[in-house]
A and B are shown apart, each in its own frame.
Chain A
Amino acid sequence: MTAQIFNLSPILILIVTALFVLLLDALFPRGDKKLVFTLSLLGLLGSTVASFQLWQLDGLSLLSEAIRVDHFSLFFTLLSLAITFLTFLSAFPLMKENKVPAGEFSFFLLSCCAGMSLMAWSTDLITLFLSLEIMSVTAYILTGIERERLTSSEGALKYFLLGAFSTGFLLYGIALLYATVGSTQFSALANYAMTSKHSLPPLFYTGVGLLTVGLAFKIAVVPFHMWVPDVYEGAPTPITAFMATGIKAVSFAAFIRIFLIALLSLKANWTMILLCFAVGTMTVGNLAALVQTNIKRMLAYSSIAHAGYIFIAVCATTHQSFELSTSAILFYLIAYGLMTLGAFAIVTYASSLYSKHGQEKNMISDYAGFGLRFPLLGGAMIIFMLSFIGVPPTAGFMGKFYLFGSAIKSHLFWLAMVGILNSVISSYYYLRILVAFYMNKPKETEALTPLPLSLGVVIFIAALGTILIGLFPSKIFAIILKTVTPLL
């Protein structure tokens, strides 16, 4: 029993810290916000140390195969922890200005992180459902946590209604799979799919389809993306970055565990649907981003498009190319996470400059001359935008290289071509931001608030990471390759 608790420690530390922080804030409502913030960061640190401790294990199923601790799950735990850490840093100015309640905010963010980790660990449909709900419900609240601002509440409502709706589909899919397979474990699903490959009942396919809908909603795959722009615009900017990177990443983890590991033997039956997802998500995301005038909405559509690029590697996954394709997905999730967190940190600072009377101002035209006024921030934004487009030597370029490379390995040349064409289209709207940054004259010079240190740290880490991963990708790729190889 103690051994089991030790193996669960990364998640347990997060939950205990979350509860402690909430109690502390409730007992001392006038206390220092810095204390809550520091304690949360310590909790994240403790969980990180615990995850590294578990890295020595070779993979272990716990709690009657409800969860599994292996390198794959620890990879996503560490990724969620890093994303949560950077989100905390970006949100610290909001906490200090009392725009968001510090105690509740930290509690929900830490719980969301615990849910995200658990999602990558789950190897049972029940655990998957529960972790998905922990993650989603806290994300609904985090979206609406700026109660004074109407768009925040409206975004939370839209997210909640559509999220709960999609949960219904996911749950019904789980029930149908349980009815046909007689168990909710992924390994039982895999066995069932292998043994009765040629006589699978329609109920099974319906279940798999409904499960796909539920997860596709979280990843924001076209046509289940309608909520993304409104929710991403309404949420506080650090939370937008958190959702675009963290929630998307672990949803991919669950997707890989179910569809690319347990049900890989069935993949040939629904390649067509996956190809439609990939092409549709890329194209719709990029085309819709072209016409946006609000930078948060534009980045929301761009995050849809990037999920589409990742789906190229999902389509390319077969028994032979499993390692390379899934490694490409994991690599891209790191690269995309870094550049998105950095870009949104700059947006957070800029909108704190331009916003007045509690209304957020995020129009691209507001950024006129931003790069000239802030040369360092402008330089960082150039790095992030070039990385989004996929220009060497940035992480985005290497990520796309591996994704499209996996498509070419699986002889999906046309799909790689569609991906490259989409990158070309996307350069229009990313460069439009840089045009606003450097080519337009600043409107008026107001009194400037200096860049908060915590935001500066986030932007620095993100920019440095984007460049370093772009320059030395092979080391990280080798680690990821080792992470995914024992999965199949």
Chain B
Amino acid sequence: MVGYSHYLILSAVLFTIGVFGVLLRRNLIIIFMSIELMLNSVNLSLVAISKFTQSADGQIFVFFVITVAAVEAAVGLAIIISLFRHKQTTAIDEINLMKG
């Protein structure tokens, strides 16, 4: 039987994978996908909490989170493209004009 805690544990595992993806990978697109994974793991736990505590707030919140994730995708990809036009690369180590 899959219970409440299973969902929360799965969500925590996915969130951790996302965090490590952001910290360890060096490609912009993959870092960006890891951030999306973090947001979606939260969605999973919100829906599970909402189901098991019988309150609708969580499910409504998920809609907002999906919207925000879409907005972030649009803006993030636009920024990546505008930078790609200058640099012709998506490797984060080469984007280092400012330092100090």
Contacts and interface: CB of A to CB of B under 8 A. Distances in A.
Interface in A158-179: 158, 160-161, 164-165, 167-168, 171-172, 174-175, 178-179
Interface in A140-185: 140-141, 144, 147, 150-151, 153-158, 160-161, 164-165, 167-168, 171-172, 174-175, 178-179, 182-184
Contacts, number: 117
B72 A164 contact: yes
Contacts of B80: 157
Interface string B61-95: 10011001001100110111011001100000001
Interface residues of A, number: 39
A229 interface: yes
Nearest to B99: A230
Interface of B: 8, 11, 15, 18-19, 22, 28, 31-32, 35, 38-39, 41-42, 45-46, 49, 53, 55, 57-58, 60-61, 64-65, 68, 71-72, 75-76, 78-80, 82-83, 86-87, 95, 97-98, 100
Interface centre among A175, A179, A229 (most CB of B within 10 A): A175
Contacts of A164: 32, 35, 72, 76
Does more than half of chain B's interface fall in helix, strand or loop, or is it mixed? helix
Contacts of A144: 79, 82
A318 interface: no
Nearest to B41: A172
B9 to A, nearest CB: 12
Contact of B83 (A140, A157, A178, A184): A157
Given A175-B42, A183-B55, A294-B100, A154 B22 contact: no
Nearest to A292: B100
B57 A153 contact: no
Interface of A: 126, 129-130, 133, 137, 140-141, 144, 147, 150-151, 153-158, 160-161, 164-165, 167-168, 171-172, 174-175, 178-179, 182-184, 229-230, 233-234, 292, 294, 297
A121 to B, nearest CB: 16
A141 B75 contact: yes
Contact of A160 (B38, B39, B75, B86): B75
B75 A171 contact: no
